[in-house]
Amino acid sequence: MLSHLFKLIWNKKGAHSLLIIEIWASFMVLFGVLSLIVYNVRNYLQPVGFEYEHVWNLDLASNQDTLEVAAKLERALQRVKAYPEVESVSRMSSNTPFSANQMGNSVTYNKVEVGADFYSTDGELSKTLDLKMLKGRWYQESDRVSKFVPIVINKAMEDKLFLDEAAIGKVIKVDDKKSFKVVGVVDKFKSRGEFMSDEPAVFELLAKDDVWNANMLIKTKPGTDANFEAKLVKEIAVMLPGWGIEVSYLTESRKNRQNLTLVPVLIFLIVSGFLLTNVALGLFGILNLNISKRKNEIGLRRAMGATEGRVTTQFLGEIWVLASFSLLLGLIFALQFPMMNVFDLDSEVYIIAIFAAIVIIYLIVTLCAWFPSKQAARIHPALALHEE
Amino acid sequence: MIQNYIKIAWKVLLRHPFYTFITLFGISLTLTVLMVLTSFLDHLFGSHYPENKRNRSLYVGTVVQTDSSGTTTSSGPASFGFLVKHAKSLKSAEKVTIFSNFSFSNTYVDGKKIKLNTKYTDSEFWYVTGFEFLEGKPYNDTHIRNGDHVAVITDALRDQYFDTNGETVVGRNIEIENVIYKVIGVVKGSPPTRLYTYSDIYFPYTAPKSNYENKGMRGRFVAIVLAKDQSDMPAVQSEFDSNIARIPFKEIQDGQKYSVLIVKADKYFDHFLSTFARSDSQKVMFYTVASLILLMFMGLPAINLVNVNVSRILERASEIGVRKAFGAPSKALLWQFIIENIFITFIGGLFAIILSSIVISFINSSGWIAYADLTINIPVFAISIVVCLLFGFLSGVLPAFRMSKLKIVDALKA
């Protein structure tokens, strides 16, 4: 049966080569778009690992003021903390959640080097963002002993850097004057939002005299509104003349961040959707023409006792063989991506995308061939043979 | 003759509405997407309000510091001092403006928060950009010298912040972060996609919190160098390059380990491209990927059309047989079919223009981009026509070739 179908297709290889190219090209487009979607959906399904609902980001800039900046920052922090509307507040480096800033660095332990996002924060962050501790605890100022700087890492970092060992208590040497000591492990921290993959992260205790990291995350009590915000900005501005002050809500930054991913994906989805509709319509037209041209053949088969179902299966089988051949061609290209680790994506993403693309292609060709072959099979043998 | 061909093509179109629909759907859809895309790219990179002079502007946006092997790289906008020294001094340029990159702030009015984009500029900014003043006028060198707290705002901010009652807001005060500025002008706002000139409020660079006094090479300022005309641009670029080349090594090191300094005055698109493709090989890669995507995108509908057309040849076999029997040369048949296809493509093109103007007006009015001014302009239209022709030719030539090769006997038999 299968070899017979191959023979039928081979006999018309000229006309079929164009069809094969078309299905192959559709497969490649689908594979590309689906990889993008699978990658993002997989990331989206993992929680960000922190609470951002009532959290504000207060961004301070000392501008031309260079006198006692650290002390002024500390005073501002205490002032913010004193408001009854504020639940908790912590200082953080400028790579606050959902911001566009990134600070990457690599850490080496036992010859294993891992690149991670570095966040400088104080002892309050786990409270402000409700970070889920897996092991150990969040660092405090008292954890800083001589040259040991306490750090908290996330699960992804623990798995990558320490492999099978437990992370708590491990010391990572940075240089002669500074070493990190792990005091806790948090679950996930996807600071660039839902669509970021779960990457290694390191939280480092902010130095007491630090003047560079002038962001504050403020967790407000529910129901706090812009009136409090205006009051806060005004009072801080009086306290710190000449400083830049900007307040943004994490919920808003999150939305901006999401759109950065969603808009391109949506555009690709719409465009490829139209492309595939186009292909499906064309395929339908071509199959319709091709099958109606083979009326005599159908009539003969029906006269010899083939049932409607068997005729339909023949035509479906033909298009399936054709599609399989194009997909085989497409797989040669598509499999390069997971094998060569293109774009550093998890090979699972590509494999899922390939499978989904194959399923969708088979679905489209089956749908396009179903109606014409059904119609052809219904022809009465007498009528079909009569035409000859 | 052509008239006849077109008449035949029209009749063929009407004979099978379903196939006509498939053909037109493919053509018009592809062209629509193409036209909307070119229109959007033109919106991003073309010369539009307020950067009407972009076609003769050079952008100095980033300072890249790196070591000789290129392993550690640090890049960002330049400092005010750096730009004054190396860009403002250009003799071949018509005008040079220096202004801060975007920054954010908030202002509060009646318990309502207004998010602001702020920008600090010099007075030449208003010459280099073509902002339209609805009220008042821009600040000048005197304001800057005196360090006056004045501001130019957009009409959108005016409507949000002030109760205008139809009166002018020039002379009224706006308070931002506890500093009171006097409004001296109101301009028509620009879309946020004009990354460098977009803002809600503009201050003279001597106003508080601009940080123009900062030392070093890196800071938060960018410059636009306006050449006298387009042909002058290479001369301005080479003068700027020689200015940069004269920076002593000690200054390049900037107290750090960097030994190589890359600062370019680029045209807008080149500048944009170089922010994510630094080396030439990366640029080649970018163009290859972009053209591959385009090829795929245009190729798929084209293959589809060829397929449909090839399958439909036999429908017209008898007509061809008769024409051949009466002595029509293959060449004539070839041309007939190509002309027919181009005719169909143009009909599809017409639909595409209607469709894309609907899509574009939808984008403009959706508020997806504030002040969006996407248009189907002449270059976009011309490109679409060329694409139409290419499409028609592409999808017509193979079926036509096959048809003209048909033997008379076979054609007449079918």
Residue A388 has pLDDT above 60, yes or no: no
- What is the rounded CA–CA span in Å between residue A15 and residue B307? 8
Residue B178 distance to chain A (closest CA, Å): 6
Q: What is the mean pLDDT of residues B316-342?
A: 82
Contact criterion met (CB < 8 Å) for A229 and B113:
yes
On the question of pLDDT at B143 being above 90, the answer is yes
Question: pLDDT value at position A387?
Answer: 60
Give the pLDDT band (50/70/90) at residue B267.
Answer: very high
Cα gap A286→A321, rounded to integer Å: 16
Q: Maximum CA pair distance of chain A?
A: 102
Q: CA B119, B123, B124, B125: dihedral to nearest 10 degrees?
A: 20
pLDDT over threshold 70, residue B255: no
Residue A238 to residue B178, Cβ atoms within 8 A: yes
Region class of A49: left (phi > 0), else alpha (psi between -120 and 50), else beta: left
Would you call A243 and B111 a contact, using CB atoms and an 8 Å cutoff? no
A41, A132, B210, B352 from A49: Cα distances, Å? 16, 7, 37, 47
| CB spacing of A278 vs B299 below 8 angstroms | no
Which residue of chain B has the CA closest to A64?
B211
Percent of chain B with pLDDT over 90: 31
User: What contacts A373, CB < 8 A, 6 or more positions away?
Assistant: A287, A291, A311, A312, A314, A315, A316
With beta carbons under 8 A apart, name residues in chain A contacting B211.
Answer: 63-64
| B375/chain A closest Cα distance in angstroms | 19
At residue A185, does pLDDT exceed 90?
Answer: yes
Contacts of A278 in chain B (CB under 8 A): 25-26, 29-30, 300-301, 304
- At A231-288, the pLDDT tens digits run 898 899 888 888 888 888 999 889 888 888 888 888 889 888 888 888 888 888 888 8
Longest dimension (CA), chain B: 94
Please provide residue B387's backbone torsions phi and psi, each rounded to the nearest 5 degrees: -60, -40
CA atoms of A384 and A204, how far apart (whole Å): 81
A163 falls in which pLDDT band (50, 70, 90)?
Answer: confident
Q: Give pLDDT tens digits for B162-178.
A: 988 888 899 999 988 88
Could you give the ipTM of this predicted complex?
0.75
The verdict on a CB contact (< 8 Å) between B22 and A282 is yes
Determine, for residues B19 and A29 on separate chains, whether the beta-carbon distance falls below 8 Å: no
pLDDT 10s digits, B363-391: 888 877 778 888 876 776 777 778 767 76
Q: Which residues of B touch A243 (CB under 8 A)?
A: 209
Residue B176: both structure tokens together:
């931002």
What is the per-residue pLDDT across A123-137, written as a single tens digit (0 to 9) for each?
889 889 999 889 889
Chain A residues in contact with B18 by the CB 8 A cut-off are 285
Mean pLDDT for the stretch of residues A28-54: 91
- pLDDT tens-digit profile of A349-365? 999 999 999 999 999 99
CA distances (Å), origin B392, targets A63, A341, B330, B395? 61, 39, 19, 5
| pTM, 2 dp | 0.81
pLDDT digits (tens, 9 = 90+) for B14-65: 888 888 888 888 888 888 888 888 888 888 888 888 999 999 999 998 888 8
How large a percentage of chain B has pLDDT more than 70?
96
CA distance B401 to B135: 65
Residue among A329, A321, A328 nearest A365 (CA)? A321
A341 pLDDT exceeds 80?
no
> Any idea where the domains of chain A sit in the sequence?
2-45+257-386, 63-242
Q: Inform me whether the pLDDT recorded for B357 exceeds 80.
A: yes
Average pLDDT, chain B: 85
User: Of A101, A251, A279, which to mutate for an interface test with B (greatest number of B Cβ within 10 Å)?
Assistant: A279
State how far the Cα of A163 lies from the Cα of A181, in Å rounded to an integer: 17
Burial of A277 (0-12, 13-18, 19+ CB in 10 A): middle
**Of B330, B349, B328, B333, nearest in space to B391 by CA:** B349
Cα–Cα distance measured from residue B101 to residue A176, given in angstroms and rounded to the nearest whole number: 39
Looking at residue B314, what is its pLDDT? Answer: 67
For A375, what's the count of Cα atoms within 13 Å in the CB-facing half-sphere?
A: 14
